[in-house]
Amino acid sequence: MMPSGPAVTTLRSVVAYLASVVRGAGIAYTVVQVVTWHSFYTATPWRLAGPVLAVAWGAAATLSLRRDWPSPALACLDSAVYVALALGGSGCVPPAVRDEASSWLVISMSGQLMIPAWYAPGILFWLLALMSATAYWAGAMLHPVTSSRTLTAATIVLIVLGVVHAYGRRQLYRRAAAADAALRESDQAASKQYAILRATIERREHERLLHDTVLNTLTALARPSRAGLANAVNRCRQDVDLIEDALADPNDLATAAKRRSGDLLGEMRAAVADMRARGLRVHAGIDDGQAPAIPAPVALAISSAAREALSNVAAHAGTGEAWVRVRLTAPGRDGEAPQGAEVTVRDEGAGFDRARVDHARLGLRRSIAERVADCGGRASVWSRPGNGTVVHLSWPAVSGLSPGAADAGPRDDHELAAESLPW
């Protein structure tokens, strides 16, 4: 049995369509020949039985082919009808064309050969093709023949057509099966690559989670803090909630109901409130207007990156003050700006030299830059010793810039001003 696949299925559908077209052409040719030799048929009306049967069965087969390709059983039945027609239908062909390949009987049988050739098993097709040619020869010999040479030529035409169809079937089915096998291999390879990519993304996200929760909390506990024990306990509880949410079963409906939504403004307000509770003075500029909905993974990635940027301000900037601006853009019309989101975190602290930052550190690289890039956005960081730091997050990524361009190095004051920051 021929294996099923996209290429094989398409090939069989195309052949069924072509077979229906050939059958339709055979019906039209039969009608034209009957009209042309109307005197032969009007002289003895029973002679119309052959052409009428050929037209009626051909029309039924054409309608069936338009719906779907035939089964092997239907292909055998179709061949049986034409074998019977060949045995008894020669008397319904005008004597002048009875032994020629241009008779409606030979044309009808030639078009019918496509069905068993493409839809019957190989050995069965050869048996049916041989039976059709033999039945045509035997049926023609039952009546006076004008030329045995032309009768032989017509019989050979039927055999040659069968050989051509069998060769075409073998070659095209082989190529289609090879294409399906290549497609299956590609699909398996893509599935493996997807599994590797998914595992890599999950590992990277776990690294970010550990950095943003446990590592940051332990670092804060190791330093003197004015917030005291209550703040440390609160941070530990928040870390536990985040880790439990990350490690929970994604198919658990109860857990999914508790997960964060795609409300970036709400996520940012929660992050600002959390950092204020930790003692950082955060000046937030968050639009309260009609904000467009953005995908939940994007909102989570951007808010987590912004939270990490604020944590860096509290831990490394040497200042207790930061500014946050959040702006969402609705889908534009007629070339206007597309739907997107922008978050900027700024401080006026000590700043740092980007060239001296260890690339193995997870903060800027994993928790900010790669996290935003993974959701199709872009993160850029500007900093200079003594002049503070600006972290700009945008989604989708700015046209013409790669998502991973966040670590391209410090920018000059002119490039920073081009972001139109209000401070």
Same domain, 29 and 117: yes
For residue 325, what pLDDT is reported?
93
Q: How many helices and strands, by DSSP H and E, does the chain display?
A: 16, 5
For residue 253, what pLDDT is reported?
47
**Residue 217 lies inside a defined structural domain of this protein:** no
List pLDDT tens digits, range 119-141. Answer: 888 788 888 888 888 888 888 88
Q: Please state, rounded to an integer, the average pLDDT across all residues of the chain.
A: 78
pLDDT at residue 100 above 90?
Answer: no
Residue pair 350/386 in contact by the 8 Å Cβ criterion: yes
* Among 186, 205, 235, residue at a domain's last position: 186
Question: Among the listed ranges 245-259, 289-303, 323-337, 357-371, which one has the minimum average pLDDT value?
Answer: 245-259
Same domain, 177 and 266: no
Q: Quick one: pLDDT band at residue 266, thresholds 50, 70, 90?
A: confident
228 φ, ψ (degrees, to nearest 5): 85, -170
**Residue 405 lies inside a defined structural domain of this protein:** yes
CA-to-CA distance for 407 and 389, rounded, in angstroms?
14
Segment 97-108 shows an average pLDDT of 88
**Residue 250 lies inside a defined structural domain of this protein:** no
For residue 123, what pLDDT is reported?
83
For residue 234, what pLDDT is reported?
62
Assess whether the previous peptide bond of 144 is cis (omega < 30° from 0): no
pLDDT at residue 32 above 70?
Answer: yes
For residue 343, what pLDDT is reported?
93
CA-to-CA distance for 25 and 32, rounded, in angstroms?
11
Is the pTM value of this prediction over 0.75?
A: no
Same domain, 143 and 11: yes
Segment 360-377 shows an average pLDDT of 77
The domain tally of the chain equals: 2
HEC string of 243-277 equals HHHHHCCCCCHHHHHHCCCCCHHHHHHHHHHHHHH
* Among 186, 219, 244, residue at a domain's last position: 186
CA-to-CA distance for 345 and 271, rounded, in angstroms?
12
Give the CA distances from residue 170 to residues 42, 115, 293, in Å, rounded to whole numbers and listed in that order.
Answer: 45, 14, 55
Segment 236-250 shows an average pLDDT of 60
pLDDT at residue 401 above 90?
Answer: no
The tokens 């019906």 sit on which residue? 27
CATH number for 389 = 3.30.565.10
Residue 69 DSSP label? P
**Residue 123 lies inside a defined structural domain of this protein:** yes
* Among 160, 186, 212, residue at a domain's last position: 186
The tokens 């991973």 sit on which residue? 404
Question: Burial, 341: exposed, middle or buried (Cβ in 10 Å; 0-12, 13-18, 19+)?
Answer: buried
Assess whether the previous peptide bond of 396 is cis (omega < 30° from 0): yes
**Parent domain of 396:** 260-417
Q: Quick one: pLDDT band at residue 422, thresholds 50, 70, 90?
A: very low
Handedness of CA 352, 353, 354, 358 (dihedral sign): negative
**Residue 121 lies inside a defined structural domain of this protein:** yes
For residue 203, what pLDDT is reported?
73
pLDDT at residue 78 above 60?
Answer: yes
- The β-bridge partners of 383 are 389
More confident: 143 or 301: 301
DSSP one-letter string for 303-323: HHHHHHHHHHHHHHSS-SEEE
For residue 400, what pLDDT is reported?
38
Alpha helices by DSSP H, 331-381: 362, 371-374
More confident: 325 or 253: 325
For residue 242, what pLDDT is reported?
60
Q: Quick one: pLDDT band at residue 406, thresholds 50, 70, 90?
A: very low
List pLDDT tens digits, range 312-363. Answer: 888 888 888 999 999 887 765 554 556 788 999 999 988 888 777 666 555 6
pLDDT at residue 64 above 60?
Answer: yes
**Residue 275 lies inside a defined structural domain of this protein:** yes
Buried b (16+ CB within 10 A) or exposed e, 193-213: eeeeeeeeeeebbeebbbbbb
Provide the percentage of residues in the chain whose pLDDT is more than 90: 18
CA-to-CA distance for 29 and 84, rounded, in angstroms?
20
Both tokens of residue 393?
Answer: 């997050």
Among 326, 305, 330, smallest CA distance to 381 is for: 305
* HSE (side-chain half, CA atoms, 13 Å) at 150: 15
Instruction: Please list, in sequence order, all residues whose beta carbon lies within 8 angstroms of the beta carbon of residue 219, skipping any fewer than 6 positions away.
Output: 315
For residue 277, what pLDDT is reported?
81
* HSE (side-chain half, CA atoms, 13 Å) at 165: 26
**Residue 247 lies inside a defined structural domain of this protein:** no
Same domain, 19 and 133: yes
List pLDDT tens digits, range 174-217. Answer: 999 999 999 989 988 888 887 887 777 777 766 666 666 665 66
Residue pair 397/376 in contact by the 8 Å Cβ criterion: yes
Residue pair 222/216 in contact by the 8 Å Cβ criterion: no
Q: Quick one: pLDDT band at residue 30, thresholds 50, 70, 90?
A: very high
**Residue 281 lies inside a defined structural domain of this protein:** yes
CA-to-CA distance for 183 and 173, rounded, in angstroms?
15
SS3 at position 392:
strand
Alpha helices by DSSP H, 89-144: 104-112, 114-119, 122-141
For residue 245, what pLDDT is reported?
60
